[in-house]
Amino acid sequence: MSGPEPGDVIAVWFSNGAASAVAAYQTLQRYGNLCDVRIINNPVLEEDEDNLRFGRDVATWLGQPIISHNSPVYPTASAVDVWDKRGAMVFPRGAPCTVHLKKEARQDYERQHKVDWHVLGFTADEAGRHARFVLTERSNVLPILIEAGLTKADCAALLQANGIALPRVYAEGYPNANCIGCVKATSPTYWNLVRRTRPETFDARAEQSRRLGARLVRYRGKRIYLDELPEDAVGRSLKTMTVECGIFCEEKGVFG
Ligand code: SF4
């Protein structure tokens, strides 16, 4: 597949994370004079409010607005609403919130707008994820960060060098800037971090998951309800959690 041509539309899918912010920057550097580069975010209400500040800072840095596009079926863009409507929080091979609020939102944008190329925040250490996405989702993806040899750590450093504070959830110990209380997480370490830093979110997830019969956490080899999780339970380090929600969210992406 040859590269972008003059006038092509390049959609950069910005997830409020460091990597996709730098992917947008690199895309504008490489193709901004040649193509119509659009930076698009599929919002999810359950993300931390500081993500919005981060998005505004990134837009200022890039000198370009970030387009917000959500699925018309879920105008609230709320994962909590998706779970209630679907009567489920997580499936064996994914989560309904990812499907409706990310994947279908992106597909809805594609139905309304011609997109010649996609850019995602796959970093140099994620060539496998990029390859999988190209194979299963879209073949017209530009591996911007991979070609530039930029890792997640490089992206974070580049933003900080440009005076852009990362979303505050990273400093709180979260492995990504996705929703707080992500239903794909099964790790006791993760859920106890949520309980410590956002007790009201923990309680809300515990209530809803009990009501919908979703055993979200894995403890001692067994799936249990959040309200059964001991407060001192720990699992693997959150640094090993690599799955992020987004349009490239792996179908089987349950991280633990
Ligand atoms: S981050 Fe987690 S909870 Fe939020 S939409 Fe994605 S899969 Fe759902």
Q: Does residue 80 sit within a domain? A: yes
Q: What count of residues does the chain have? A: 256
Q: Does residue 69 sit within a domain? A: yes
Q: Are 48 and 63 in contact (CB under 8 A)?
A: no
Of 109-113, 140-144, 154-158, 251-255, the range with the lowest mean pLDDT is: 251-255
Q: Does residue 189 sit within a domain? A: no
102 C-alpha vs ligand 1 centroid, how far in Å?
9
Ramachandran angles phi, psi of 223, nearest 5°: -80, 130
**Confidence at residue 238, expressed as pLDDT on a 0 to 100 scale:** 79
Residue 22 clears pLDDT 50, i.e. is over it: yes
CATH number at residue 65: 3.40.50.620
Q: Is 179 in the pocket of ligand 1 (CB under 6 A)?
A: yes
Residue 255 pLDDT grade (very low, low, confident, very high; cuts 50, 70, 90): very low
79 C-alpha vs ligand 1 centroid, how far in Å?
7
Q: Does residue 68 sit within a domain? A: yes
Q: Does residue 242 sit within a domain? A: no
Ramachandran angles phi, psi of 54, nearest 5°: -60, -45
Report the mean per-residue pLDDT for the chain.
91
Residue 248 clears pLDDT 80, i.e. is over it: no
**Confidence at residue 235, expressed as pLDDT on a 0 to 100 scale:** 84
Q: Does residue 217 sit within a domain? A: no
**Confidence at residue 44, expressed as pLDDT on a 0 to 100 scale:** 96
Residue 254 clears pLDDT 90, i.e. is over it: no
**Confidence at residue 252, expressed as pLDDT on a 0 to 100 scale:** 36
Of 51-55, 117-121, 191-195, 251-255, the range with the lowest mean pLDDT is: 251-255
The total number of structural domains that make up the chain: 1
Q: Are 9 and 116 in contact (CB under 8 A)?
A: yes
Substitution candidate for ligand 1 out of 179, 190, 244 with most atoms within 8 A of CB: 179
Q: Give the neighbor-by-neighbor strand order of the sheet with 117-119.
A: 67-68, 36-41, 9-13, 117-119
**Confidence at residue 245, expressed as pLDDT on a 0 to 100 scale:** 56
What average pLDDT does range 84-106 have in this prediction?
93
**Confidence at residue 243, expressed as pLDDT on a 0 to 100 scale:** 47
Using only C-alpha atoms, what is the Rg of the chain? Answer: 18
Tokens coding 65: 């607005």
Residue nearest atom 8 of ligand 1, based on CA coordinates? 97
- Tens of pLDDT, residues 129-182: 899 989 988 899 999 999 999 998 999 999 999 999 999 999 999 988 899 999
**Confidence at residue 240, expressed as pLDDT on a 0 to 100 scale:** 56
Substitution candidate for ligand 1 out of 20, 85, 97, 103 with most atoms within 8 A of CB: 97
Residue 250 pLDDT grade (very low, low, confident, very high; cuts 50, 70, 90): very low
Q: Does residue 131 sit within a domain? A: yes
Q: Does residue 145 sit within a domain? A: yes
- Domain membership of residue 158 as a residue range: 9-88+97-168
